[in-house]
Structure 1
Amino acid sequence: MVSAPTLHASASATVRARTVAAAVVDPEVPVLTIDDLGVLRGVWADERRAVVEITPTYSGCPAVDAIRDDLVLALTDAGFDEVEVRLTLAPAWTTDWMSDDGRRKLREYGIAPPTGRAAVGPIRVALAVKCPRCGSLDTRELARFGSTSCKALYECRACLEPFDHFKVH
C-alpha cells in the first residue's frame, strides 16, 4: 500500500469516505463491491478532499476507468470537493484479498469463487472446480478466459451448465 497522502486526514472524514468508496460496485460483476473484491486498498480524507487507492485484478483491467469514474462520482456526491484515485499495481492483486462475503456473493450469482490461497512457486496443479449451480465437482475448463480476463469459462458435466470461475492469482 502507498503511504498516506499529504493531507490533514480526519478520522471521521476518512471513515465516511471509506464507507462511500467501499459501496462502489464492480462494473463487471455487479453483485460485488470493489471492497468485496479487495480492489479497494486505502482511503484517506479530510473534510473537503478524499484520496482512494485501488489495485485492479489485472494490470490491464478494462474496468479500471469505470471504477475510477464511479469512485469520483460517489465521493463528490457525498460532499468531497476533490477526489484523487490512485492506481497501485504493486503488490499485484490476489484473490486472497477477496472477502468471504464476496466469495459467497459470487457463488450465489453463478460464478465459482476462487478457493484456497494463491499458489506460491512454479508448480500449479489443476484442482476440481465446484459447479455453483448443482455443486458437482465433475467440471472442465472450456476456455482460459471467460466473460472477463479474470475469469475462466467452465462447464459442469453433471448439469451441463456453463459457468465462470474467478481465477486464483
Structure 2
Amino acid sequence: MVTAAAVAARVTDPELPLLTLADLGILREVEELPDGVVVTVTPTYSGCPAMQTIRDDLVRALGEAGYPRVEVRTALSPAWTTDWITEAGRAKLAAAGISPPGPAPRRPSGPVPLTLGAPRRDIPCPHCGNAATDEIAAFSATACRSLRRCPACREPFEHVKEI
C-alpha cells in the first residue's frame, strides 16, 4: 500500500492544477493512525475558496488508496507564504508560462502595516525573460495572481503574487 503521505502529496491544487499540494507548500502533515489518517493543510490565505475542494480531493484520493477514514485539519499558524512553494513548483509555474513569485515580503510580527501603494518590482516575463513587464490587472483568475504583459514579446502572462 502506498503511504498516506505519498498519496496526499500527489493531490493537485484546484486553482493551479499543475501544482501538487506538496509543490504549493500547503501540505503540512500527514499522520497515519490505527483508525485513519489526519492531514493538516494551511490555506494560501484565510478566505481561500479552494479549501473545500482541497479537503474533498484529499478525502477522495486517500479513500481510493485504501484509507477509509480521513480527517483534514486546517492550520492557520504560521500563515502560509509563497516562500513555501518548492523549487519544483516554481519550475512548473515557469514552464507553464506563469511567473513564479519572488521572495515574500518580510514583515514584523504583530499588526500588518497599511501601505497605500504597491511596491514597484520588475517581474520578468516567463516567455522571453524581459525584466520589465507591465501590470494589466492586480487580480487575475484568482486573487493571488495578477495579470501582466511583456512589452518585448507582447505576450500576456499571470504572476503569482508574493505573500
Whole-angstrom distance in 1 between the partners of 2:85 and 2:92: 11
Are 1:55 and 2:49 an aligned pair? no
Equivalent in 88, 105, 108 of residue 92 of structure 2: 105
Unaligned runs of 5+ in 2: none
2:145 equivalent in structure 1: 151
- The alpha-carbon deviation at position 46 of structure 1 amounts to 2.5
Q: Which moved more, 1:124-133 or 1:136-145?
A: 124-133
What does the per-residue CA deviation read over 1:79-115, in whole Å, with 9 as the maximum and x for residues that have no partner?
1120000112222110011100000000001110011
Does the residue aligned with 2:11 lie in a helix, a strand or coil?
coil
Which residue in 1 is equivalent to 2:158?
164
Match of 1:68 among 55, 80, 87: 55
Q: Match of 2:123, as an amino acid? A: V
1:9 equivalent in structure 2: none
The 2-side partners of 1:150 and 1:18 are apart by 26
Q: Does 1:29 align with 2:23?
A: no
TM-score, length-normalised on structure 1?
0.86
1:33-91 deviation line (CA, Å, top 9, x unaligned): 01000010111012540000111112111111111110000111111120000112222
User: Are the counterparts in 2 of residues 94 and 118 from structure 1 also a CA contact under 8 Å?
Assistant: no
Partner amino acid, structure 2, of 1:106? L
Whether 1:19 aligns to 2:21 is no
SS in 1 for 2:23: helix
Structure 1 SS opposite 2:71: strand
Q: Look up the equivalent residue of 1:110 and give its one-letter code.
A: G
* Residue of structure 2 equivalent to 1:138: 132
2:18 partner amino acid? V
TM-score under structure 2 length normalisation: 0.89
**Aligned mates of 1:71, 1:62 — CA distance in 2:** 16
- Moved segments of 4+, more than 6 Å: none
CA distance in 1, matches of 2:106, 2:128: 27
Measured in 1, the distance between the counterparts of 2:157 and 2:106 equals: 23
Question: Aligned with 2:57: secondary structure?
Answer: helix
SS in 1 for 2:73: strand
**SS of match in other structure, 2:54:** helix
SS of the counterpart of 1:66? helix
Aligned residues: CA RMSD: 1.8
How many residues were matched structurally? 156
